[in-house]
Amino acid sequence: MSNSDITEPMIPAMQSNPNLKEYHCPHCKRFLFKGNVKKLNMLCHHCHKLIIADGNEVVLKKTDKILKKE
């Protein structure tokens, strides 16, 4: 295979949106996804524990402290 066979991807890479929040598991603190949600009902794909929470309860600050709904 030569370099001339390489083509640009058909779907361009998405740019990171600064308005999206990072969500982390409240049990194992590992990354879940980026987005904006009001309520969260899911199973963590790392620790396999059920997460039922307000969206603000699973967003971590840069200091790794869990935000509580104000």
pLDDT, one tens digit per residue, over 10-26 is: 666 566 677 888 888 98
Query: Is there a domain that residue 10 lies in?
Result: no
Query: Is there a domain that residue 15 lies in?
Result: no
Do you know the residue count of the chain?
70
**Count of domains forming the chain:** 1
pLDDT average, residue stretch 30-53: 89
How many angstroms separate the Cα of 34 from the Cα of each of 10, 11, 13, 62?
A: 24, 20, 16, 15
Please list, in sequence order, all residues whose beta carbon lies within 8 angstroms of the beta carbon of residue 41, skipping any fewer than 6 positions away.
Answer: 50, 51, 52
Q: pTM value?
A: 0.58
- Whether 25 contacts 44, CB under 8 Å: yes
Range of the domain at 36: 21-70
Query: Is there a domain that residue 60 lies in?
Result: yes
Q: Is 57 helix (H, G, I), strand (E, B) or coil?
A: helix
Query: Is there a domain that residue 16 lies in?
Result: no
Look at residue 47 in the predicted model and tell me its pLDDT.
93
